[in-house]
Amino acid sequence: MLDSARRRQRQLRLLDLYGSLLTDHQRRILHFAWELDWSYGEIAQREGVTRTAVYDVVRRTTTNLDDYERKLGLERAQRV
């Protein structure tokens, strides 16, 4: 399993590579969570939603980014 720093770097790389495939809302939530390191509570207050809604968006979007990489392999291609 990747340590948290490596996992975070990978998440940010995937966001850079596949961010254009996400909705504005998904990109905004991940920007706050991953790039600005805001808490789910802070994001929820800013976006006018619940912390659970923020958690769900992060979880689903992370899965989507992993699926995009599995199917398209842009990150893999850059490492070669």
Token pair 């399993």 is found at 1
Q: With the C-alpha atoms ordered 59, 63, 68, 74, is the resulting torsion angle positive or negative? A: positive
CATH at residue 47: 1.10.10.10
Full-model pTM: 0.86
| Cα–Cα distance measured from residue 48 to residue 68, given in angstroms and rounded to the nearest whole number | 28
Q: Please give the tally of structural domains in the chain.
A: 1
* Residues whose CB falls within 8 Å of the CB of residue 62, separated by 6 or more in sequence, listed in order: 11
Averages of pLDDT over each 10 residues, the chain, 80 residues: 80 94 97 96 98 98 96 79
| Cα–Cα distance measured from residue 75 to residue 68, given in angstroms and rounded to the nearest whole number | 10
Q: With the C-alpha atoms ordered 48, 52, 54, 57, is the resulting torsion angle positive or negative? A: negative
